[in-house]
Amino acid sequence: MREQVSPSSRVLIGEDVRMAIAVSHLRSLSPELIAEVTAYASLLHVQAGSIFHREGDTSAHVELVVSGLVRVYVTAPDGRTMTARYCRPGALIGAVSLFASPFSLPATIQAVTDADLLALRASVVKRMAESDLRVARALLNELSERVLSFMTEIPSASFATVRQRVARHLLDLASERQKGSELIAAIGQQDLADAVGTVREVVVRTLRELRAQDLLRTGREGIVLLEPDLLAAEAYSGPTGSNLTGDWNSGR
């Protein structure tokens, strides 16, 4: 028999949370099931640049991105990082931690912009998945999408357009050295061209196009990312990026 959820244990779901749920894999659940899955959940605000899960963490966790842009990345021994996933509203984070045993987080999770998260109680979500096929199916859809996206990221990283490679590299570089809400990629045009495997003239043209769209600006301090959310969408859009999830965001 399922444990009854008391009114005091229900999180107050505002319009922003409802909109995030509506584009997440939880959208298939009835309002009653959503109330049970979100029992004892809490709303968290994470400041831009803050890390809220680190590689090696062993605790189970499930968060729904309500607003902002979140980055999941891995770190090489020499300190370089590579983004595995960008998450915007509607993305579920951490579902794998409920079922992998033993679990050790293989990546670090950072807020690129100020972000609001609905932190679900892991024990509640796991219990619901074990007792209700509808909840299990929603999480299975999420996990299946993650597997497919990571598999397609390998050829995507190799065959992405120059514009996509530039956008990805700028986001990664700026996020690695982020201080506060400002994102600056301290890199010259030639170094950027070398990093993405093209020539300087192509990078100059690409930066000019992105600057004309008000996605970034260039100056003495480096390349300032004005709209990281839109730039991330740019990085994962088109023939390669669209194959990741049908859209660049996991929640849609």
Total tally of structural domains belonging to the chain: 2
pLDDT at 238 over 60: no
93-102 average pLDDT score: 95
My answer on whether 79 and 196 are in the same domain is: no
My answer on whether 49 and 71 are in the same domain is: yes
Q: Is 233 inside a domain boundary?
A: yes
Cα separation of the two ends of the chain: 33
My answer on whether 118 and 33 are in the same domain is: yes
Domain span at 185? 160-241
Tell me which of 153, 168, 200 is where a domain ends: 153
Q: Rounded CA gap, 144 and 19, in Å? A: 22
pLDDT at 81 over 50: yes
pLDDT at 1 over 50: no
Three-state DSSP state, 60? coil
The two structure tokens encoding residue 181: 């809400």
CATH number of the domain that residue 165 is part of: 1.10.10.10
Judge if the upstream peptide bond of residue 102 is cis by omega within 30 degrees of 0.
yes
* pLDDT digit string, tens, across residues 4-59: 444 455 566 789 999 999 999 999 999 999 999 999 999 999 998 899 999 999 99
My answer on whether 109 and 80 are in the same domain is: yes
pTM higher than the cut 0.95: no
Q: Is 247 inside a domain boundary?
A: no
Tell me which of 121, 153, 185 is where a domain ends: 153
Q: Rounded CA gap, 37 and 104, in Å? A: 24
Query: What pLDDT, on the 0 to 100 scale, is given for residue 250?
Result: 45
- Within 10 angstroms of residue 160's Cβ, the number of other Cβ atoms is 21
Q: Is 144 inside a domain boundary?
A: yes
> In the chain, what percentage of residues exceed pLDDT 70?
87
Tell me which of 128, 153, 178 is where a domain ends: 153
Q: Rounded CA gap, 178 and 250, in Å? A: 24
My answer on whether 145 and 164 are in the same domain is: no
Mean pLDDT of the chain: 85
User: How many alpha carbons fall within 13 Å on the CB side of residue 52?
Assistant: 23
What's the burial of 137, exposed, middle or buried (CB within 10 Å: 0-12/13-18/19+)? Answer: middle
My answer on whether 145 and 173 are in the same domain is: no
Q: Is 246 inside a domain boundary?
A: no
* pLDDT digit string, tens, across residues 131-158: 999 999 999 999 999 888 877 766 666 6
My answer on whether 21 and 131 are in the same domain is: yes
